[in-house]
Every structure is written in structure tokens, then in C-alpha cells.
Amino acid sequence: MKKLFAIAIAASMLSGLYGFSIGLGAAYDNLAGEEDTDPYFSVRADVMCKPLPILGLRFGLIQIDLPTDNTTYAFGTGVSADVLVFIPMAGTINPYIPFGFWYHGNTGSVLTLKGGLGANMGFGGFAAYLEAGITYTSISYDIEGVEDPDATNPFYVQGGVRIPIGM
């Protein structure tokens, strides 16, 4: 009986109140970006799961960037991926630290590192979130044997709602 009780306690620690959640929000990207670039709005959707109470995994599903001159969009499971480290606190506000890493390679390479600070606030059946941070992007192209490196580190602010989906 004690072993079953220990297994039940371990299972309750590893499981959350819900299996995953869908986030719908908007962001203001490219704050303090490169010279001759303007900040722009972005619409986003993601899915997040919490395998541990202090650890979340967030995968971007849709990102529509709306800069002044053009609109770019990406959808699918490869849009973005972040690890969220939640800071345990009593109450309805749940702060977290997001970390992100992306790498794309071809004739050049793009390395992106993301970090920031955010918080979820529960409102019964759903939660609102607000997050701010910095995205460091290093771009390196090899054009006809000549390397052309570039790096940016703009800030972003995003917010929205998170809707839990039960398992």
C-alpha cells in the first residue's frame, strides 16, 4: 500500500491540472532593432505542455509578422520552440523565464537565442499572459567564398490568452 501511495504522489507531481494549453496572442517585435528598421506587430498561436510543475515546453504553430512594407507568415510545428522555467509562487500570478534556441543552416546559417521574463495570470477557465525579452540573431552567409556575418538583438513584448485543454 505504501508503494502505491508513493507512486500516486510521484504521478501527481509529474502531472499538471491540464494536458496542454493553446495560446493566442499578439506581439510587438523589433523594439530597439537595427537602424532603419521599425517595430512591427505580430500575431501568434502556440501550444504549451508542462511535463513538470516548474517546466513548460512551448511550440509555436502560427506566426504572422506585419511590418510596414510586407507581411510574412509561418505555420506548422517548426515555427518556434521555447523552454519555460516557472518560478513557484502562491496566488494566481505565475511568473516564468522563457529560453529559446533555433538554428537554420544551408549556404549560410542563422542562430537565434531568446530569453526574457513573463507571467501567466489565471482567470478561472483560462489565463492571460504577458512576456518581454530579447532575441539575439546571428546571420552568416557564405556568398561565393566571402562571408557576410550580421547580428541583431531586438526586444519584444507579447501578450494574449492561454486556453487549457484537458486530457
How much is the pLDDT for 1?
66
Those residues whose C-beta lies under 8 Å from the C-beta of residue 16, and which sit 6 or more positions away, are: 50, 53
What CATH number does residue 159 fall under?
Answer: 2.40.160.20
Q: What is the pLDDT of residues 64-119, one digit of tens each?
A: 988 888 888 888 766 788 999 999 988 889 999 999 988 888 778 888 899 999 99
Those residues whose C-beta lies under 8 Å from the C-beta of residue 67, and which sit 6 or more positions away, are: 30, 38, 40
Domain boundaries, position 64: 2-165
Domain count, the chain: 1
Rounded Cα distance between 121 and 129, Å, is: 6
**Total-model pTM:** 0.78
